[in-house]
Structure 1
Amino acid sequence: MSKEKIWTAALIVIGDEILSGRTQDKNIAQIASWLNVQGIRLAEVRVVADDMDHIAEAVNILRARNDYLFTTGGIGPTHDDITVDAIAKALGVEVVIHPTARAILEKYYATRGGLNEGRLRMARVPEGAELIENRMSGAPGIRIENLFLMAGV
């Protein structure tokens, strides 16, 4: 009698604003529900501060013991959005500007004041990453290995 594999995922919610209570997370329940429909068990959720080493550590632990790892937060246009840098550090790769992400953002912001240095930060990805389409804001999510990086709340 063969035992059917149970696919697992973990979620890291990133941001000082979540830990301080200034912002309430709305992603955990939504992601858990979506994963359940896909037949994937959400096995663990961590909330991590905007700290490069803490994010990288959590990523390496959770990606190793789960089939999938999702992150929310920290891929926006501001200086404290360090998730891409922390993931690159965890994987031992460089951060690069993804040409397709840059083109998407240039088009999206063409009538919204243009692509400035802050907005261009949203085109940064760990080297080797693929993009996840985002119909809401134009800024794409990121996939690399078993990691899926998405915007915050």
Structure 2
Amino acid sequence: MTDKRPTACLLVIGDEVLSGRTRDANIQFLGQRLGELGIPLREVRVIPDDRAVIVATVRDVRARFTYVFTTGGIGPTHDDITSECIAEAFGVAWVVHPEAYAEMAADYAARVPPVEFNAARLRMATVPEGATLIRNAVSVAPGFRIGNVHVMAGVPKVMQAMFEALAPTLEGGVPTVSRSVHAIGVFEGAIAEPLAAIQAESEGVSLGSYPYYRASGNGVAIVARGVDAAAVEAAIARVAAMFRADGKEPAIGEPT
């Protein structure tokens, strides 16, 4: 069965992620939330704060996916170049957005003591010409949307607020259904053949095998994903039966 739902790509932008200094926490959130909206996340790329790389990558992925999301690089410092690069990728000017300017100016002025709306902070109100804002309920400075590209902050709390503001505007498909079962004392090599047989019998369902290691015992978790809830449930029931046939008692859900 061909999946005809909209597709998504995430670009994680930042030298700090590639260097290992910062652990990315946004991929899991977006993968789950997009799945709930029926927009499967098909590709994730982690790229540096390099103008040429960002521009080329944005041009590539926006032509291949329904939606492109970016995280990182929209702050006030010299290495926050995502917004400028998106403007270049679309071939438009990089301009101060009047609504962003007004909202940020008012917010800084209302703080106690007032905060200077300086040139560095003005960068956060500057977006590609023609872009629409993505509201930020956490720290005011907005993300933006141009074409099918949605540009958000890298800080997880801020990114999540931006995504929730954006989510109602996204046109999705049938949500992804996910079910899992696991068993202690199971080894992937022992279940590979019967698991492959279950996969072959489960049209429209994707089965993933994930070994885990715990003080309470090592085992394997199997996750079934698809858009047909009945088919997913049937597949995970076959997996549970497979575990029992191997003399292991399955537990529904993910291992703790």
Same fold (TM over 0.5): yes
2:92 equivalent in structure 1: 93
Aligned counterpart, 1:49? 48
Aligned to 1:134: 136
* SS of match in other structure, 1:136: coil
Give the distance between the partners of 1:134 and 1:30, measured in 2 at CA: 17
Alignment gaps of 5+ in structure 2: 156-256
SS in 2 for 1:22: coil
CA distance in 1: counterparts of 2:119 and 2:55, whole angstroms: 25
The DSSP-based 3-state class of the residue aligned with 2:74 is coil
1:57 is matched by which residue type in structure 2? Answer: A
TM-score by length of 2: 0.58
Aligned to 1:151: 153
Deviation, structure 1 residue 114? 2.6
Instruction: Report runs of 4+ in structure 1 exceeding 3 Å deviation.
Output: none
Q: How does 1:1-153 map to 2 (within 5 A)?
A: 5-110=4-109, 111=111, 112-153=114-155
Shift of 1:5: 2.3
Q: What whole-Å deviation, never above 9, does each CA across 1:101-136 have from its counterpart, x for those lacking one?
A: 011111221215131111111001001000011001
Q: Which amino acid aligns with 1:117?
A: A
Greater relative contact order (Cα < 8 A, sep 6+): 1
Could you tell me how far apart the structure 2 residues matched to 1:4 and 1:15 are?
32
CA-CA distance at 1:4 after TM superposition:
6.5
- 1:47 offset after TM fit, Å? 0.4
Question: Which one has the largest radius of gyration?
Answer: 2
Q: Please list the CA deviations of residues 2-28 of structure 1 after superposition, one character each: whole Å capped at 9, or x if unmatched.
A: x77211000000000111111111111
CA distance in 2, matches of 1:73, 1:4: 30
Cα distance in 1, alignment partners of residues 117 and 33 from structure 2: 33
Per-residue CA distance 1:26-52 (angstroms, 9 max, x = gap): 111111111011100101000010000
- Unmatched tracts of structure 1, length 5 or more: none
